Amino acid sequence: MLGGDPGRVKKRKLVRWRRLISTVIVLAVLPVGSDAESPEEPLSVRTAAEEALRANPDLRAAYEVIEIARGRLLQAGLWPNPELVFSGRDDFAFQNEGERSLDIGFAQRFPVAGRLARARDVARVDIAIALTEVREFERTLISDVQRSVVTLLTLELAVAEQNRVIAAARRLARASSARLRVAEVSEADVNLLEIELTRFEQDLRLLELDRHTEAVRLNRLLNRAPETPVEVLGDLETPLFEPRPATQLIKPALRRRPDLQRLRFERDRSSAEVQLARAEAWEDWTIDVDYSVDKQVFRDEPSADPIGTKRDSFLGVGISVPLPLFNRNQGRIAAARADGRRAAAQLIGLERTVEAEVEIAVRRVEELARVVVEYRERIVPGATRNVTLLEKGYRQGLIGVSVLVQGEQQYAHVALRYARVIGDLRQAEVDLESAAAASPLLKHDFSSGVKP
C-alpha cells in the first residue's frame, strides 16, 4: 500500500500534535529572565540595609506583634455580652392539674470604676512597647547588614591586595627560574620563592573562603538563597558616618534609642497596670430584668376537686453588686509597682550603658582614623618602596633571596593589615551610628498606634 495504514497515519499525526502541544506548554511555563536567574543588583551599605528592612522575615514577624497588641486594644474596649434566660415549670409529672409558670429574663453586666478605660490604657502602652521592639530590631538589623557589607568590602580589598602580592611573587619566581637556567641563582633560591608563592596563594584561598562565608550570612539577613551571588559597592576610603564629638551624640541617643524607650514605656505600663488592678477590684455589676407568667390551681382538702385557678404576670428587676471585702487585687497591685521599680532601675543602668557605648565608639573612630592615616601616608608607601628596591637589588644580584622574601612578607602583611584597619574603622563608624541610633533608615516614632 502506497499510503500505508490510514489508522497508523492518523495515530502518528496525533502523536506529533501531542508532542507539539507539550513543547508549547513547557516553553510557556519555563521562566524567561526570571528573578532567580537574573543577577542581583550590586549592594552598597545603604541599599543593603534598605533591602533588609523590606525583605527580612523576622522583621515582618516583629511587625505582627504590633497587630497582636492592636487586637488586644480592641478587645479591651468591648463590653460583656448580655444574657437571655428562659425557664419554665409544669406539674405534668405529678397531679397534672394544669399549674405552670414561664420566666423570661435579661441580664447585663456593667463594668464599673472605669475598668474598660483602664484596660485600654494598658493595651495602648502594650502597642507602644511592641513598636519599640520593632524599632530595636530594625536598629540591630541595620547594623548587622552594614557590618556585613563592610566586611565584604574589606575582604575584597584584602583579596585585591593579595592578588597583587601573588602577581609580584610570580614574576620573581619566573625571573629566578630563568636565572637558574643560566646559573645566576641557586636552586634553593628558586625553591624559597616558590614556597613563598604557594603560601601567598593559600592565604588568598582563606580570604576567599571568608568572603563566601560572609556572603552567605548577608544573604540570610536579606532573605535570599544562600548561593545567591553577592556583589557589593563602596569605597572604604570614604567615611560612612560624619564624625562628631560624643557630647553631641549622647543626648540624642538617650532620646532615640528604642531599647531605652521600651523601658520608659514599661515603667509607664506599671502605673497603668496599678490603676487597672484597682478598677478590677470592683467586679462588674449585674442588672437583671425578667418577666414571668404563673398559673396556679387551688383545691379544698380533703376534696380532690379544684375550687379555682389563678393567673399572675410579674415584672422583676434585680441588681447584683459584688463587694471587694477579701480580694482587692492587693497582689496584682504590689506586683505592678515592683515591675515599675524594676523598669526604672534598668532604665538608669541602660542609660549609662548607652553613654558608654557612644563614648567608646567615638574613641574607636578617632583612634582608628589616626591609624588609617598613618598606614596610608607612611607605612604602605614605605613598604611599597622597600619591596620595589629589594626586587631591583635582587635582579641586580646585590641582595639574597631571603632578604627579598622578608621584604615581600612585610609588604603582604602591611597591605592586608591596612585593609583590615580601614575595615575596622568603617565597622567602628557603623557601631557609632547604631549606638547613637542615628541611621537615616531608622524611624523614631514610638507612639504610633498608642492613641485610638
Sign of the Cα torsion 352, 355, 358, 361 reads negative
- Ordered by start, the domain boundaries in the chain are 45-78+120-282+331-435, 82-110+285-321
pLDDT at 451: 38
pLDDT at 2 over 60: no
What would the mean pLDDT of 34-52 be, rounded to a whole number?
74
Class of the CATH domain delimited by 45-78+120-282+331-435 = mainly alpha
Task: Give mean pLDDT, residues 352-364.
Answer: 94
- Of the pLDDT bands very low, low, confident and very high (cuts 50, 70, 90), residue 234 is confident
Predicted confidence (pLDDT) at residue 26 exceeds the cutoff of 60: no
pLDDT of residue 21: 41
Residue 36 confidence (pLDDT) above 50: no
What is the average pLDDT value for the chain, to the nearest integer?
Answer: 84
Least reliable range by pLDDT among 29-33, 101-105, 136-140: 29-33
**Which stretches within 182-235 are classed as H helix?**
187-221
Q: What is the pTM of this model?
A: 0.78
Q: Which residues pair with 89 in a beta bridge?
A: 101
Query: Which is nearest to 150 in space by CA: 67, 239, 63?
Result: 239
Q: What's residue 302's pLDDT?
A: 56
Banded pLDDT at 350 (limits 50, 70, 90): very high
Residues of the chain with pLDDT > 90: what percent? 51
pLDDT score recorded for residue 16: 52
Query: What average pLDDT does this structure show over 108-136?
Result: 92
For residue 199 the three cell numbers come to 603560601
User: 294: part of which helix (H) or strand (E)?
Assistant: strand 285-299
Identify the band that residue 24 occupies on the pLDDT scale cut at 50, 70 and 90: very low
- 135 or 190, higher pLDDT: 135
C-alpha cell at 317: 428587676
pLDDT average, residue stretch 294-310: 66
Q: What is the pLDDT of residue 403?
A: 83
Report the pLDDT value the prediction gives residue 397, as an integer from 0 to 100: 74
Residues of the chain above pLDDT 70, percent: 86
> pLDDT tens, 403-443?
878 888 888 889 899 999 999 999 999 999 999 999 999 88
Lowest mean pLDDT: which of 185-194, 287-296, 333-342? Answer: 185-194
DSSP string, 360-426: HHHHHHHHHHHHHHHIIIIIHHHHHHHHHHHHHHHHTTSS-HHHHHHHHHHHHHHHHHHHHHHHHHH
- pLDDT score, position 32: 39
**Burial group, residue 17, by CB count within 10 angstroms (0-12, 13-18, 19+):** exposed
**Bigger pLDDT: 74 or 7?**
74
Q: Read off the pLDDT of each residue in 255-267 and give the average, rounded to a whole number.
A: 94
Report whether pLDDT(20) > 70: no
Please determine, for residue 75, whether its predicted confidence score (pLDDT) is greater than 50: yes
Question: Residue 450 — very low, low, confident or very high, per pLDDT cuts 50/70/90?
Answer: very low
Query: Among candidates 279, 243, 274, 256, which has minimal Cα distance to 370?
Result: 243
**Is pLDDT above 60 for 366?**
yes
How far lies 18's CA from each of 4, 270, 273, in Å?
Answer: 21, 73, 72
Rounded to whole angstroms, the Cα distance separating 433 from 143 reads 8
Region 194-216: mean pLDDT is 92
Mean pLDDT of 28-43: 50
Q: How far apart are CA 189 and CA 64, in angstroms?
A: 67
